[in-house]
Amino acid sequence: MEKKWWHNKIAYQIYPKSFQDTNGDGIGDLKGIIQHLDYLQKLGIGILWISPVYVSPCADQGYDIADYYQIDPMFGTMEDMEELLKEAKKRDINVLMDLVVNHCSDEHEWFQKACQNPEGEYGKYFYFAKKENGKLPCNWRSYFGGSVWEPLPGTDWYYYHSFHKKQPDLNWENPNVRQEIYKMMNWWLEKGLGGFRVDAIINIKKPLPFCDFPADRTDGTCDMSVVVNHARGVGEFLGEMRDETFQKYNAFSVGEVFNEKEEELSDFMGENGYFSTMFDFSQTNEGKSPKGWYDSKIPTVDAYKKCCFNSQRKAKGIGMYSNIIENHDEPRGVSYYLPKAGRNDKGKKLLGTVYFLLKGIPFIYQGQELGMENMTFTDIDQIDDISSIAEYEECMRVGLTKEEAMKVISQYSRDNGRTPFQWDNTENAGFTTGTPWLAVNPDYVRINAKAQEENPDSVLQYYRKLSALRRKPEYEDALIYGEVEPYMESEEGLMAYYRRGEKQDFLIAGNFTEEEKKIYVDDTKEKEVVLTNDQVEWKEKELILKPFQVAVLRCQKGN
Ligand code: TEU
Ligand code: CA
């Protein structure tokens, strides 16, 4: 595998609205990010993905962009952005912006012009259609519920949106649209970005002409995953985008790709793939139902493990996935994947270790390094997220009580990951001196960065060690480039694997149960425990893992 500058980096995602407010308006801002760059450097971060900060009416928290060339005043100014890039560079941190180009905002100039004349030049930037014999062109259901077709008021036209109705899809079939997008990307790359996280990119290719697919809900609509599976030829767009943008700058790109086709994996993230890497969402998708959150199941530890290992097998010899336990679209990983008995600091370190040392680029979502947990929401009024609101409506539609529905929403809501960062135990967790745009999780008095800074056994200090371990140049052959080899795979509640290097092997073993687990380790090799969340105990050739213990063993090659 040809070495790239991003292979040995650790990435961090910031959700700017919730990271740090510096002017008391209750909204996190770019100055707030600059203020904490030293904190990120101490965590060993080399890639920093910032969720959208462009001008946006914020129907979907900035994922609806009205002007790609300006910073939204709520986050600061272009000078702040340039300052951030400069200060990040000093600390060897490469900044990624979020590239949201499957759609823009209905308040973008292009769409405004398109609405004036759906058959004109800008109409071709989007998808407009009329009913035929009283029927819409297709029965697809947008990700946030309801038809993908929205009537254009005062006309008999409809426009297409894969997500919210305030997020009209851009027509990638139109070469002018593609050129506009590449021009904008290069404009940002010229400013010194390290690259982009690429939003919802699989959706840019539609299976055309529009047609119905079998319905999976009683309203006659069908899930988007079915639509995506029928689309062919997205690679032509993606290859062109790579050649016209990323490649020229040796930029890093991480694709948010859902429903990828296995046979296309090497085109997507192999040597000279469309992207440097893409997120492994296999665990995120596990248990999710097309019917909605109310019908979804949280994966067990064994299902989680299976997903991780399957993805590793697929990527073997091809490239590196980006590994996550959470992001701004998901509940907190520790509240989701850990069995109840392990939802404590010990369990958080365990989950942190097993995903972080898989082959791939580890991404840490803000607050994950503190072990931030889900919020408990008891009323839909506490929710801001449009996706949660749509899911709540679906719960109501199928007859759940308000209480049952709120249990579902609490479990899955994207707002779990969007509550403000918990810096200290002062009012509003040190996030703002004003009123936070979304309530702070009351557990901040217990879980916050300042307290963890002072405690050598904290989750934060553990993440720093984990990060240092992966960045150790002497371990690179195994921890960066070594393949994953599952170990004792059929043992329930245990997730164990080797990372095989040229000079050394590492064994990562984590016990997700309340009973001890015995791990046989070949003792013809010299071995050393380089990280654990508990005391290490050996019984002859067996390593004894206590409940929720994880251990990372370095094994010297040769006998
Ligand atoms: O998400 C794309 C996406 O398809 C899923 O995240 C999913 O639809 C969503 O989580 C349902 O709950 C990206 C962004 O990450 C997300 O924040 C945006 O809302 C979406 O695109 C639209 O831009
Ligand atoms: Ca602010």
**DSSP secondary structure string, 457-510?**
TSHHHHHHHHHHHHH-GGGHHHHTTPEEEEESTTSTTEEEEEEE-SSEEEEEEE
Closest ligand to the CA of 434 = 2
Chain mean pLDDT for the chain: 97
* Cβ(545)–Cβ(512) below 8 Å: no
CB 115 within 8 A of CB 165: no
Q: Is the minimum distance from the CB of 101 to ligand 1 under 6 angstroms?
A: no
* Per-residue tokens: 105: 């905002």
Q: Which atom of ligand 1 is nearest to the CA of 64?
A: 23
Q: Would the CB of 414 count as within 6 Å of ligand 1? A: yes
Say which of 21, 60, 199, 223 is annotated catalytic: 199
199 noted as active-site residue: yes
Distance CA 189, CA 185 (A): 6
Q: What is the Cα–Cα distance from 53 to 60, expressed in whole angstroms?
A: 12
Instruction: Report whether residue 100 contacts ligand 1, using a CB cutoff of 6 Å.
Output: yes
For ligand 2, the distance from its centroid to the CA atom of residue 58, given in whole angstroms, is 15
Kind and range of the H or E element at 180? helix 175-190
Q: Which CATH code fits 109-160?
A: 3.90.400.10
Parts of the chain with a pLDDT under 50: 559
What separation in Å is there between the alpha carbon of 443 and the centre of ligand 2? 23
Q: Is the CB of 164 under 6 A from ligand 1?
A: no
**Catalytic annotation on 107?**
no
- DSSP secondary-structure letter at 154? T
Tokens representing 247 are: 């490649």
Run of H or E including 254: strand 252-255
pLDDT of residue 523: 63
* CA separation for the pair 461, 298 (Å, rounded): 29
Amino acid at 104: C
Structure tokens at 402: 């308000």
In the chain, what are the domain boundaries? Answer: 11-104+175-464, 109-160, 482-556
Percent of the chain residues topping a pLDDT of 90: 97
d(CA 542, CA 442): 42
Residue 540: what are its φ and ψ, rounded to 5°?
55, -115
Q: Determine whether the shortest distance from the Cβ of 387 to ligand 1 is under 6 A.
A: yes
Three-state secondary structure call for residue 325: coil
SS3 assignment, position 118: coil
pLDDT for 242-283, tens place per residue?
Answer: 999 999 999 999 999 998 888 999 999 999 999 999 999 999
CATH classification of 482-556 is 2.60.40.1180, yes or no?
Answer: yes
Residues in CB range of 395: below 8 A, 6 or more apart: 292, 293, 294, 404, 405, 408, 409
Q: pTM surpassing 0.95? A: yes
Which pLDDT belongs to residue 556? Answer: 85
Catalytic residue among 256, 369, 385, 415: 256
pLDDT of residue 461: 98
Q: Domain 11-104+175-464: which CATH class?
A: alpha beta
Nearest ligand to the CA of 72 is 2
For residues 208 and 159, what is the distance between their CA atoms, to the nearest angstrom? 15
Strands (E) located in 327-446? 361-365
- Angle of the 234-244 helix axis to the 175-190 helix axis, nearest 10: 40
Interacting residues of 332 by C-beta distance below 8 A, sequence separation 6+: 326, 367, 368, 372, 373, 374, 416, 417
Measuring from atom 10 of ligand 1, which residue has the nearest CA? Answer: 329
Ligand 1 atom with least separation from CA of 391: 12
Instruction: State the Rg of the chain over Cα.
Output: 24
Ligand nearest to the CA of 18: 2
No. of H helices and E strands in the chain?
A: 18, 21
Kindly report the protein residue whose alpha carbon is nearest to atom 4 of ligand 1. Answer: 200
CB 75 within 8 A of CB 16: yes
8 A C-beta contact, residue 28 and residue 420:
yes
- Written as one letter, the residue type at 250 is N
